[in-house]
Amino acid sequence: MSIIKELKESLKEIVKESGYEEDDLAFSLSQRKDLGDYQLNDALKLASKYHENPIQIAEKIAGNLKKDARFINVNIAGPGFINFSLSDEFLCKSMNLIIENKENNIDKEEEKKIFMDYGGANIAKTLHVGHLRSANIGEAVKRLSRALGYNVISDVHFGDIGRQSGMVISEIKEEHPNLPYFDENYKGDYNDIDFEITEDDLGRIYPLANTKAKEDPKKMEEVIEITRKLEEGHKGYNALWNKIKEVSIKDIKGVYKKIGTTFDLYEGESDCYPYIPEMINEMRKKGYLRKSEDAEVIDVKEDTDKEPMPPLVVVKSNGGALYATRDLATIKSRMERFNPDEIWYFADNRQSLYFEQVFRAARKTGLVNKETKLGFYGFGTMNGEDGKPFKTRDGGVMSLKELIKIVTDEEEKKVNEDIVGKENKTKVAEMVGISSLKYADLIPYRETDYIFSKDKFLSLDGKTAPYLLYSVVRIKSLLKKADEKCYMVTKLKGTEDRKLMLTLLNLPTVLTNSLKIKSLNELSDYIYELTSAYNSFYNSNKILTEKDEKLKSSWIALSKLVYDTNIYILNILGLEVPEKM
């Protein structure tokens, strides 16, 4: 158990000894440092619960607090707010416990198997800024979950089937009508394919085919027909599509690697096809499917719904599968193969109603166990200065690659060659540029939209990655100048160093909360606070030339602890630290 949690438990005990029960203590770091490190604001609530005078309650609790040597400077303010600080001895001891084992500063969760679905890149379509959010937030939540002890399996869930496949194939057919893959009797397979296509071709083909199909109903009909045949196993189309998949996945993986996202499974929507027939049969047999026009739907409305909840279409009028069919069959596959306790999805907020329908359908039709939790964690959009989704200068979709290039190029102008070395300039610019983009994306609460600003994201001041990274690099160089010795915290001066220690003790609360809300905003704020607290400590003390040896080694130990904690958090957030900056 973390030190802060142990403290909370002790406080609960003390309140109990004083004659009161309170499970959810109003205990927090104090805003008024002159009154104490912490405040305990339960007396008022207890007063109405126990019909007693709040001041008397506060006095009883405070009296018992004073008996515990960990708590000093216990005082009561206003109508019964208790303030207190931690003794120097206890603070030092706590820091050393964390130095000994960082597990003393996190609270592990109960063991659980989580299946995470994030990333969601689409084959043959350009990765756009929305995919940054899914990959970035999803990856950070995965790392946080693992740090807190969950067993996580992650899957990218490629959009590798559906109308875009028909579009791309139809356009290739138009441009290369003589290829053998369009022949109904094509006998070869994917390994025989003799057709070169590049990522750039795909980048050009999909938007073109999309426009054509939207403008020409006949073209659209052909696209739908090709898509259906592809799904039904048309040999030539499948050979061609597999080739396209290979090229596209290689490219997508390259971008994911750049932004530090990796998955345990690189499966796609199409991998669930073997599960579809049995699933649909079962659903029909058990009477869950209802004919609606020519399609088949599942009713998912519940009596308590206040908002409209349309039925979920599971079989198309032409008998084919659609996005929802694939998500349901994928749940079936995941349950049968991995039997997770929970499945979490990270996608754009605009898919929230859709996922609610899917979850209800999965529950209703028994695809998941009663206890299995299905969670949708949506996110807002990255907007331009105009408040609309961030676009390219000519109004097109901003690709993730372009976005990375914008921040990297800008950062390259700032990198100091003399410090990082000429040969490292581009690498450092990319590292810092991408980290800036990622950190800015994690700062707002997951569901909140935010505005892209390369100047703000890359600034060396304020809540930015360059500020954090620069500080870490500076602590590292300070530590290099100190001896290799293993330092302990034995003394504190009592101002900045105390604030730093209290901030460190607060980490477990932030980690636990962040996991609860599946958002990194609190942790992003926290690392900024920790860094700022360290920087004011650093600026007001001459650590390496301090005469008091006890103080000096305590400060070095504290610096090392802040450094390690920073690295730990940066790793969860997925931000890379350059050697020099």
User: Which residues here bind ligand ARG, judged by CB under 6 A?
Assistant: 117, 120, 122, 157, 159, 327, 345, 347
Tell me whether residue 345 or residue 555 sits nearer to ligand ARG (CB atom).
345
Q: Rounded to the nearest whole angstrom, what is the least distance from the CB of residue 349 to ligand ARG in the complex?
A: 11
Q: Per residue in 492-522, is it b (16+ CB within 10 Å) or e — as a string?
A: bbeebbbbbbbbbbbbbbbbbebbeebbbbb
Burial class (CB in 10 A: 0-12, 13-18, 19+), 480: exposed
Q: Rounded to the nearest whole angstrom, what is the least distance from the CB of residue 368 to ligand ARG in the complex?
A: 14
Q: Rounded to the nearest whole angstrom, what is the least distance from the CB of residue 351 to ligand ARG in the complex?
A: 7
**Residue sitting closest to ligand ARG (CB):** 120
Rounded CA gap, 139 and 572, in Å?
Answer: 8
Tell me whether residue 244 or residue 415 sits nearer to ligand ARG (CB atom).
244
Is residue 152 within 8 Å of residue 114, measured between CB atoms?
Answer: yes
Tell me whether residue 219 or residue 334 sits nearer to ligand ARG (CB atom).
334
The phi-psi region of residue 494 (left if phi > 0; otherwise alpha if psi is between -120 and 50; otherwise beta) is: left
Q: Rounded to the nearest whole angstrom, what is the least distance from the CB of residue 311 to ligand ARG in the complex?
A: 18
Q: Rounded to the nearest whole angstrom, what is the least distance from the CB of residue 384 to ligand ARG in the complex?
A: 20
Tell me whether residue 209 or residue 569 sits nearer to ligand ARG (CB atom).
209
177 to each of 227, 228, 239, how far by Cα in Å? Answer: 18, 20, 16
Tell me whether residue 326 or residue 438 sits nearer to ligand ARG (CB atom).
326
Tell me whether residue 95 or residue 347 sits nearer to ligand ARG (CB atom).
347
Is residue 54 within 8 Å of residue 61, measured between CB atoms?
Answer: no
Q: Rounded to the nearest whole angstrom, what is the least distance from the CB of residue 165 to ligand ARG in the complex?
A: 13
Is residue 451 within 8 Å of residue 383, measured between CB atoms?
Answer: yes
**Which stretches of 350-415 are DSSP H helices?**
352-364, 400-414
**How far separated are the first and last CA of the chain, in Å rounded?**
37
Tell me whether residue 165 or residue 531 sits nearer to ligand ARG (CB atom).
165
Residue 250, number of CB atoms within 10 A of its CB: 10
In single-letter form, the type of residue at position 132 comes to L
Q: Rounded to the nearest whole angstrom, what is the least distance from the CB of residue 123 to ligand ARG in the complex?
A: 9
Rounded CA gap, 179 and 170, in Å?
Answer: 12
Burial class (CB in 10 A: 0-12, 13-18, 19+), 461: exposed
Give the largest CA-CA distance in the chain: 92
Tell me whether residue 54 or residue 159 sits nearer to ligand ARG (CB atom).
159
Tell me whether residue 37 or residue 327 sits nearer to ligand ARG (CB atom).
327
Q: Rounded to the nearest whole angstrom, what is the least distance from the CB of residue 574 to ligand ARG in the complex?
A: 20
Rounded CA gap, 417 and 148, in Å?
Answer: 39
169 to each of 234, 310, 521, how far by Cα in Å? Answer: 12, 33, 42
Q: Rounded to the nearest whole angstrom, what is the least distance from the CB of residue 122 to ligand ARG in the complex?
A: 5
